[in-house]
Structure 1
Amino acid sequence: MTARSAERTTPMATDHRPDRHDRYDRDDRYEHRNRRVPSPLRAPIESRTWREFGYLMLSLPISVFLFAFAIITVALSAGLLVTFLGIPVLAAGLMACRGLGALERARARALLGLDVGRPEPLRARGEGLMAWVGAVLKSGASWRHLLYALLHLPWALVSFVVSLVFWVTGWLLVLYPLWQWVFPTYLDTPGIQVYGDGDGAGNSFYVDTPFEIAGATVAGLATVLVAAWMIRGFAQVDRVMVSGLLGPSRLATRVVELESDRGVVIDTAAADLRRIERDLHDGAQARLVALAMGLGLAKEKLLEDPETAAAMVDEAHGEVKLALQELRDLARGIHPAVLTDRGLDAALSSIASRCTAPVKVSVDLDERPAQAIEGIAYFTVSELLQNISKHAQARNASVDVWRSGSRLMLQVTDDGRGGANPAEGSGLAGLAERLDAVDGILAVDSPPGGPTTVTAELPWRR
């Protein structure tokens, strides 16, 4: 396949799981494709730069307040530690820091385009004031908010001063031809004095000639360009501080993901059990009940009408074959014996032979992955091939399996009508949830009219 080598060298990673979004980055990428002016030259006039400059200007007064509040909280609680009041005061101060952190996240979302989730909630063991105080003091998010209030002031001061000086100076020089007249009119000087003693003597240098004014404008343009990217750099540091100190920790995020994945696994297992019970009840069990009744009737007619009894036994023999076939299919749906005995290559070739479209199977594995991952890979391809048989109207299909580092890669392609969309709640959505439960990824590329390419990535775990 044409995309196979690229997929091997550049396997899909966690690009499909963004837990934070920077909408200005997406806007800029869109603008880059549709504007002819290079991004470095466009930065000073982009709205993103002005929003980030506003964020930096607001950071200093806000950080002064946060720093003062944090210092007062720590000092007051430390002073009251000789009494019992110090601990509740500290807990109340930490909760107030969490509230101020929520305002900072909202400010970052509005001006920096940074969407940071809320930190993990408090988990109090019990009820009452002491349980609440203990939950606040044990929460790492509470202490990170306090740390942000203490650390952000020095950074906010540096970014405020540097950004303001460079940004304002640059724009004043860019616009100097428009306000140069102020000097001779009101200040009795021909222009900006670069050096001299200020008494108008001959050793003073003023920017007043057209050439000098043009030079000042060019210098202002250079300063503005540098200042714009300095502002973006300062804002990026603020993004890191907000997301790292005011957002959820990686451990807490991972715990939430595992809890969600556990729920998906439990629901999937329950659905599989219901499916097996339904298949047994409606299929093999019903046939066996009919078989028992038929054999009972044949037994009664054995002496009276041997020919009729023989016909009934023959019919029962056919029912036994059908029941056995249904039981084999059911067992294959639980875990096929060919997968255990011969691996993915033989198992996938077996299910490919039952697809309505011709399927070319290519398995390039030097060893077998973990048994659980192998089973998930098998059922993933099986469901994708069933979708091709039911919906794709394809003439040809292919299945490729290979290993990329510590990941097992699957790719199923067909030349059908396309238009598959997991967001519409189809079987692909459930399949994506099952893969996500084991840290897997499902990517679907299915434009209307086809072709459809579904790529799955699973951990190797061997």
Structure 2
Amino acid sequence: MTSTAPAEAAEPLPPPRPPLSAQTWRECAYLLSGMPLDLIAFVYVLAWIYVGVLLSVTVIGLPVLALGLLGCRLFGSWERARTRALLRLEVEEPSPLRRTRGRGFLTWVWSSLKDPVGWRSALFFVVRLPWTVITFTVVLTAFFVAWPLLPWLARWLSNVDRALVRALLSPSDEMERRIAELESGRTTVSDAASADLRRIERDLHDGAQARLVSLAMDLGLAKEKLTEDPEAAARMVEEAHGEVKLALQELRDLARGIHPAVLTDRGLGPALSAVAARCAVPVRVSVELSGRPAEAIEGIAYFTASELLQNVSKHAAARQAEVEVWRAGDRLMLQVTDDGRGGADATAGSGLAGLAERLAAVDGQLAVQSPPGGPTTVTAELPWRERRPGASQKEATR
């Protein structure tokens, strides 16, 4: 008599499934690998503080503390990299060490001692070592005793580490991020100033300077012909007179592009009205300000409006435009509107993008609303800074 095996016994077994996910393995690796790094960093911080305090009565005490803070920054950078790799936590790097104004060794020491990033990194490794000992012990024990609970234990324990990293190793607050933005903005302003200087040099070299050189040569020839051919010399002098007028006009245009006198003497309203009069389309100007902002802010607002009106003339195909300026709390608002074709985009690498970067460098903003077919509204927002008393008189006498 033969017997047959049950049907279910002949069916293939399901494929084995890993008991732990990849994320759990990464979390376990993070919790176990933290022990050597935290132990080294903890010993380093204690030794550094001990030696620095002992030597603080000598001239090398403060430099030792300053160098120790740089080491704490380095340990913090390693920990952030480990957190990003194993916990998949995106931690921004803090701003670089800021230097106090001035040069020299003492200035560097003072800047380093005031570094909040270094001090927070030192505090992190002092606080974290006891916690690392606990997590190391719990995870290692769970591998042999409480295997089914390991995924939950690894997640809970690593969440505490995530919180510690965010609290002490991330940029401390909005201020640090703002510092980094302003440092980037300062570079943008410096590049823009260099570009403006190169433009002025090029305009002088190719324009007024070349014209004046030609004028000097013509006057030299006229001087030679004065006794031989007075009529020809008179014609050459007359031509030179016309060249002088053109050179003066070029110099006036160049000076107006640097900083117009009407802006210094009379403010934004008359200066923008002068710009509007030169625009290719009719422009209505409305300036409602009870006072004048700081010279730098006023100049930025003027050149922003000038560039926007140039864009209207060249690209908008508009019939009319409007410039409005007003104050809203601690902000100076500038708005340029036209009824042209629209389609302007500040993110497409155009002149609007450069304008937005320049405004951002002084804590300003640029908003563009330009649907296809128009109308286009560009709003610039600048910080309102009070004008120094007597600034107009000082500028006018320069």
* TM-score range for the pair, normalised by the shorter chain length: 0.5 to 0.7
In the superposition, relative to structure 1, how do residues 445 and 116 fare at CA in structure 2: closer, same or farther (>3 Å)? farther
In the superposition, relative to structure 1, how do residues 398 and 58 fare at CA in structure 2: closer, same or farther (>3 Å)? farther
What is the deviation of 1:335? 0.6
In the superposition, relative to structure 1, how do residues 245 and 308 fare at CA in structure 2: closer, same or farther (>3 Å)? same
The reply on whether 1:415 has 2:394 as its aligned counterpart is no
In 2: Cα distance, 1:91 partner to 1:309 partner: 76
1:309 aligns with one of 211, 225, 233 = 233
2:181 aligns with one of 257, 278, 303 = 257
Conserved in 2, the CA contact under 8 Å of 1:74 and 1:90? no
The reply on whether 1:350 has 2:274 as its aligned counterpart is yes
Matches within 5 A, 1:187-206: none
Q: TM-score, normalised by structure 2?
A: 0.65
In the superposition, relative to structure 1, how do residues 255 and 350 fare at CA in structure 2: closer, same or farther (>3 Å)? same
2:170 aligns with one of 247, 265, 274 = 247
Conserved in 2, the CA contact under 8 Å of 1:141 and 1:248? no
| CA displacement 1:122-141 (0-9 Å, x = unmatched) | 89x99xxxxxxx99997134
Residue in 2 that maps onto 1:329: 253
Matches within 5 A, 1:430-449: 430-449=354-373
Conserved in 2, the CA contact under 8 Å of 1:435 and 1:442? yes
Residue in 1 that maps onto 2:121: 142
Residue in 1 that maps onto 2:297: 373
- Residues 139-148 or 409-418, more deviating: 139-148
| CA displacement 1:309-362 (0-9 Å, x = unmatched) | 222222222111111111111111111000011100000010011111111111
In 1: Cα distance, 2:70 partner to 2:206 partner: 61
Matches within 5 A, 1:166-181: none
Residue in 2 that maps onto 1:396: 320
In 2: Cα distance, 1:444 partner to 1:437 partner: 18
- % identical aligned pairs: 60
| CA displacement 1:391-414 (0-9 Å, x = unmatched) | 111111111111111111111111
Conserved in 1, the CA contact under 8 Å of 2:338 and 2:375? yes
Residue in 2 that maps onto 1:119: 94
Q: Which amino acid is 2:324 matched to?
A: D
Residue in 2 that maps onto 1:298: 222
| CA displacement 1:2-32 (0-9 Å, x = unmatched) | xxxxxxxxxxxxxxxxxxxxxxxxxxxxxxx
Conserved in 2, the CA contact under 8 Å of 1:73 and 1:90? no
Q: Secondary structure at the match of 2:319?
A: coil
What is the deviation of 1:99? 3.7
What is the deviation of 1:385? 0.9
In 1: Cα distance, 2:306 partner to 2:169 partner: 44
Q: Secondary structure at the match of 1:328?
A: helix
Residue in 2 that maps onto 1:340: 264
In 2: Cα distance, 1:270 partner to 1:90 partner: 36
Q: Secondary structure at the match of 1:317?
A: helix
Residue in 2 that maps onto 1:196: none
Residue in 1 that maps onto 2:213: 289
Conserved in 2, the CA contact under 8 Å of 1:70 and 1:146? no
Q: Which amino acid is 2:282 matched to?
A: P
Conserved in 1, the CA contact under 8 Å of 2:316 and 2:342? yes
What is the deviation of 1:83? 9.1
In 2: Cα distance, 1:412 partner to 1:78 partner: 57
The aligned length equals 315
In the superposition, relative to structure 1, how do residues 394 and 461 fare at CA in structure 2: closer, same or farther (>3 Å)? same
Residue in 1 that maps onto 2:191: 267
2:202 aligns with one of 278, 292, 307 = 278
In 2: Cα distance, 1:288 partner to 1:118 partner: 55
Q: Secondary structure at the match of 2:186?
A: helix
Conserved in 1, the CA contact under 8 Å of 2:222 and 2:237? yes
What is the deviation of 1:143? 3.3
Question: Gapped runs of 5+ residues in structure 1?
Answer: 1-53, 127-133, 157-234
In 1: Cα distance, 2:278 partner to 2:163 partner: 52
1:387 aligns with one of 311, 315, 318 = 311
| CA displacement 1:165-193 (0-9 Å, x = unmatched) | xxxxxxxxxxxxxxxxxxxxxxxxxxxxx
What is the deviation of 1:241? 6.5
Conserved in 1, the CA contact under 8 Å of 2:356 and 2:365? yes
In 2: Cα distance, 1:279 partner to 1:442 partner: 29
Conserved in 2, the CA contact under 8 Å of 1:67 and 1:149? no
In the superposition, relative to structure 1, how do residues 434 and 95 fare at CA in structure 2: closer, same or farther (>3 Å)? closer
In 2: Cα distance, 1:439 partner to 1:260 partner: 12
What is the deviation of 1:151? 11
In the superposition, relative to structure 1, how do residues 362 and 252 fare at CA in structure 2: closer, same or farther (>3 Å)? same
In the superposition, relative to structure 1, how do residues 64 and 94 fare at CA in structure 2: closer, same or farther (>3 Å)? farther
What is the deviation of 1:63? 10
Question: Gapped runs of 5+ residues in structure 2?
Answer: 1-20, 52-64, 99-103, 106-112, 136-158, 387-398
Conserved in 2, the CA contact under 8 Å of 1:380 and 1:431? yes
Q: Which amino acid is 1:117 matched to?
A: E
Q: Secondary structure at the match of 1:348?
A: helix
In 2: Cα distance, 1:294 partner to 1:99 partner: 71
In 2: Cα distance, 1:442 partner to 1:454 partner: 7
Q: Secondary structure at the match of 1:410?
A: strand
Conserved in 1, the CA contact under 8 Å of 2:341 and 2:372? yes
In 2: Cα distance, 1:389 partner to 1:77 partner: 65
Q: Secondary structure at the match of 2:366?
A: strand
In the superposition, relative to structure 1, how do residues 69 and 420 fare at CA in structure 2: closer, same or farther (>3 Å)? same
